Structure 1
Amino acid sequence: MIHQRALEYLLALEGAALLRSFVEESDPGFGRARVAEMRRLLAMAELDVEPVAVERVSATDGYRVWSRTYDEPGNGLFPAEEAAVRGILADLKPGVVLDAACGTGRHSAWLADRGHRVIGVDGSPDMLARARDRVPGADFREGPLERLPLPDRSVDAVVCALALTHVRDLRPVFAEFARVLRPGGDLVISDVAQEWIAMGSVPRVRLDDGRPALTPGHRHRTSDYLGAALPVGLRVVSCDEPRQGPVVPLDAGAEMPAGGTPVGETGPWDQWPWSLAGMLPHVWQAVTGGVPLMIIWHFQRDPADR
């Protein structure tokens, strides 16, 4: 069981901002302002409440719930992620493309429109049902990333979007990607930056009985991807980390409202951590400015691997 309190998250943000100011240029009053603000937060009785008890559920169970609203209005990462991934895939000649962890088929639809034969694989029957409605001409199959329901060397390209954060060990997944790829085939991966996982950007859902729950969120570092890809014959073509806006000056000018913050402004648990970030926008900007939003990988299977 995970226990989450708004007060503790807000204090953690203040502490993260202090750590950043410890090694970066900052206003001389920045640190004092953060300490004073932490004292004010600690003095707010409305924030001194019992933690929310949160379960950890499997990705399949989480997406069974999330599938109902996944595309409405959609993930805030989608625009930047789609631009990066599709920029790589745009030059591919029409062929057979695997959309691994295809979800509701947002990449499958785009690939099909460009003349590719699309095979979508996902572990969630509920997400697959929506993908089939969205892209009726594609071939959607249920299965885990660690055991893809495809024969060896059967696809020209693989795309896996914003899914590997749910996977603890990347090695069997990359081995499967390499197995189904033809020699010279392309693998394009997007994943949530590990910094954002650490700041609470993990899908949260309400189970059917109303209990709060989080899906798995694993923090993969660059070495984890490379350690999984290189031994199975995948070479790096490119790696990009789109950023969260510019680094902002660390100044002491902006502070939370002097009168304190009403309880309602923390927002419901379902909106955390974003509603909490809204309580301390100046601190949030100081912490997240210049931090990568995601990581985008382009690998290629060795053309000489016959």
Structure 2
Amino acid sequence: MIVTVRGMAYEHPLAYALGLEGRALLRSFRGEHDRAFVAERLAEIRRLLAESPDGVEVAHVDQVEGDGLWAPTYDAPNPAFDFDEPFVREVACRLSPGVALDAACGTGRVAEVLAECGHRVVGVDSSPGMLELAGKRLPDGESHVGSLTALPSGPVDLVTCSLALTHVPDLGPVFAEFARVLRPGGRVVVADVHPEQVARGHVPAVRRADGAPGRVRSHCHRTGDYLRAAFAARLEPARCEEPVAQAREIPAAEPGPWETWPWSLAGLAPAACAAAGAGVPSMILWEFRN
């Protein structure tokens, strides 16, 4: 498991743009692009090195603080929602209605899907601010302040956990807790940002109480990390999907405000970004059974 640097990080636009150039050139080296593409990348690197944008010192905050800051804007448009909600819905509606526990339920976005599939939903989150919003969304739902390693007593028929495990340093205790509360024959659905995206710095940005920039501390769990945690908890993988976002045109652009990094930084090197990201999954989606 690769863990992000704790404490402060120094984010510089050129560090990201040159990283994209490097990934694109590596793909060229193995034969995906031609001589002209390589020449363009090298020329672009020289141009970028001649520029001098400013970097930003960014604090990596824990999930409780981060979620509290993120709660008011969490439901803003997010491409990840286009992947996890249909996946959760497919599994939840396939199962007979029962009790579904939405672990790290946030604002109740996934819990609402579970309720629409006929399940009685129990939501758990460490952020009171998130739970307050979830309560407004599902006033008849049951909610608890809690952690992923201390869930309410089961048994439940389905456990869902979306966009949360990248913020957990060790998956083992979490999967053990999922297995503890799960009824025999039950299912666990996990949806996360793909480790390749986490490794590329696609981590939620927040402004701290004093206005200083921060990111929710994130961890790069490889596919094997999920499997090892599941096997240790006696959960059997039933399905794994790694969807790729549809390619889009990236216009040349300035870095933009820090809150839009790293996504806006793609405009510094559009062709390199397109080449570096081609075919890279956006999410990793799991269904487990016990």
Matching residue of 1:178: 179
1:64 aligns with 2:68: yes
- Deviation sequence 1:239-265 (CA, Å, 0-9, x none): 11001336x9xxxxx9997xxx7xxx2
2:96 is matched with 93
Structure 2 residue aligned with 1:304: none
Alignment size in residue pairs: 283
Q: What aligned pairs does 1:152-301 form with structure 2 within 5 A after superposition?
A: 153-245=154-246, 265-301=254-290
Distance in 1 between residues matched to 2:110 and 2:116, nearest whole Å: 10
Which stretch shifts more, 75-84 or 205-214? Answer: 75-84
Q: Provide the secondary structure at the position in 1 that maps to 2:219.
A: coil
Whether the aligned pair in 1 keeps the contact of 2:88 and 2:110 (CA below 8 Å) is no
Unaligned runs of 5+ in 2: 1-7
Q: Which residue of 1 aligns with 2:127?
A: 124
Aligned to 1:145: 148
CA contact (8 A) 2:83 2:283 kept: no
SS at structure 2 position matched to 1:7 = helix
How far apart are residue 155 of structure 1 and its match? 0.3
Query: For the Cα contact (< 8 Å) 2:21–2:272, is it kept in 1?
Result: yes
Among candidates 55, 58, 63, match of residue 54 of structure 1? 58
1:4 pairs with 2:5: no
Query: C-alpha offsets along residues 37-76 of structure 1, whole Å, 9 cap, x if unaligned?
Result: 000011124x2x3x211111111101111101111x2322
The 8 Å contact of residues 203 and 215 in structure 1, kept in 2 or not, is answered as yes
The answer to whether the 8 A contact 2:92-2:117 is kept is no
Output the CA distance in 2 between the equivalents of 1:218 and 1:194.
8
Task: Give the structure-2-normalised TM-score.
Answer: 0.93
- Name the aligned partner's letter for residue 154 of structure 1: P
Q: Which runs of 5+ in 1 are unaligned?
A: 249-253, 302-306
| Counterpart AA for 1:8 | A
Root-mean-square deviation (CA), in Å?
1.8
Which consecutive aligned stretches of 4+ in structure 1 deviate over 6 angstroms post-superposition?
Answer: 254-257
Residue deviations 1:145-169, cap 9 Å, x none?
0111x22x41011011111000010
TM-score, length of structure 1 as denominator length: 0.89
| Bigger CA radius of gyration | 1
Percent identical residues = 50
Provide the rounded CA distance (Å) in 2 between the counterparts of 1:188 and 1:296.
8
Distance 2:13 2:268 in 1: 10
